[in-house]
Chain A
Amino acid sequence: MVYSGTTFRGGAAVLILIACLAGSSTLSHAQENSQRAASMTREAGLAAWQQVYSVLTTPRCINCHTATNYPEQGDDRHRHLFNVVRGPGGKGVPGLNCATCHQSANADSTGVPGAYNWHLAPLSMKWQDTNDNILSSVAVCRSLTDRSKNDSLDGPGILRHHKQEPLVLWAFQPGHRRDGTARSLPPLTHDQFVAATRTWVDAGTPCPQNP
């Protein structure tokens, strides 16, 4: 009986050990899968971010995300003509507001772009340095995801901004210049831009590590 008991106890121990090993192996497999999925999601998120970044840094977007006291104009991103200044709320100053020229829609007959509530992005959302050089992908990503700088937007909030904000929508329908030619467009369509933003947001808004 003792022998049998010992055998039984020994057998139970082996079974428990096997069970533990099997359990440990299953857990490790699940963790690996989960890690692989997370890594793939992060990879997809980072790739999507680069697409988003490629849009944010086109002239249609970045001309109003300056670090300076003035907006920029044109594909060469020159300083806005006519002595236009930022003003305290990013809408110019009395007598020379953005709305002095920019109306609620593009004025194609006169070449002045327009959309609802035309204004500069706040300085906390600058995507250029004070010498008008475009910031790196890392720097823009960190700013964009910093809720102390981005008007407290979380991932879905950023997605909503990219989907609905009239000035974002304008960038994809920027109208015509004074000479009648069409303004250049971002490298993605608005639908592609929103899809890329969604992928990036779903991945947890990852930012690249290296500048």
Chain B
Amino acid sequence: MQTYKLTVNGQMREVTADPGTPLLWVLREDLKMTGTKYGCGISACGACTVHMAGVATRSCVVPISLVGDRPIVTIEGIGEDQVGRVVQDAWVAEDVVQCGYCQSGQIMSAVALLKSRRKPTDEDIEDSMGGNICRCGTYVRIRKAIKTAAQQLA
């Protein structure tokens, strides 16, 4: 076991964990931040997506030992970000969510997309969101919400 200092949503947190422990489990089990979801555990579904130094990252496959000093933002903190707030509002406005399990990951990926592309095309959305799976099939509403957010940010 080792002790790690993490910056999560702007706050310094200290955790003691095995170096191989995935960041997801540190967030959920040690820090009790359960907004980030466990879906597949092999980075295939995107439910566990957080931002690490601004990069959308699959927390289920990143061992805590490889996080380093990169600041982490989770779904609990993304609303503090201007783009994050707009995306969350668009999600509500377009009533995107059905069961909701994948949606924290969807929002984190959508925010990463909109931070890089303020006017994403359908192809941009498909490429960037293609790794986030929704078993309820809310893809059409996700696309619409991203476009709504893009308009808000224009």
Contacts and interface: CB of A to CB of B under 8 A. Distances in A.
Interface stretch (B30-38, B60-68, B74-82, B96-104): B60-68
Q: Is the interface of A mostly helix, strand, loop or mixed?
A: loop
Contact of A100 (B55, B110, B124, B129): B55
A85 interface: yes
B56 interface: yes
Contact of A96 (B21, B60, B61, B109): B109
Contact of A112 (B43, B124, B129, B131): B43
Interface in B77-133: 109-110, 112-113, 115-117, 124, 127-132
A101 B43 contact: yes
Contacts of A103: 62, 66
Interface in A65-108: 81-85, 87, 93-97, 99-101, 103-105, 107-108
Contacts of A83: 127, 130-131
A94 B57 CA distance: 11
B10 interface: no
B143 interface: no
A85 B62 CA distance: 20
28 contacts: A81-B44, A82-B43, A82-B131, A83-B131, A93-B124, A94-B56, A94-B124, A95-B109, A95-B113, A95-B128, A95-B132, A96-B109, A96-B127, A96-B128, A100-B43, A100-B49, A101-B57, A101-B62, A107-B61, A109-B19, A109-B22, A110-B20, A110-B22, A110-B62, A111-B42, A111-B61, A112-B43, A114-B66
Rank and list the top 9 A-B pairs by shortest CB-CB distance, nearest first.
A109-B20, A83-B130, A94-B116, A95-B128, A95-B109, A110-B61, A95-B112, A103-B66, A95-B113
Interface of A: 81-85, 87, 93-97, 99-101, 103-105, 107-112, 114, 178
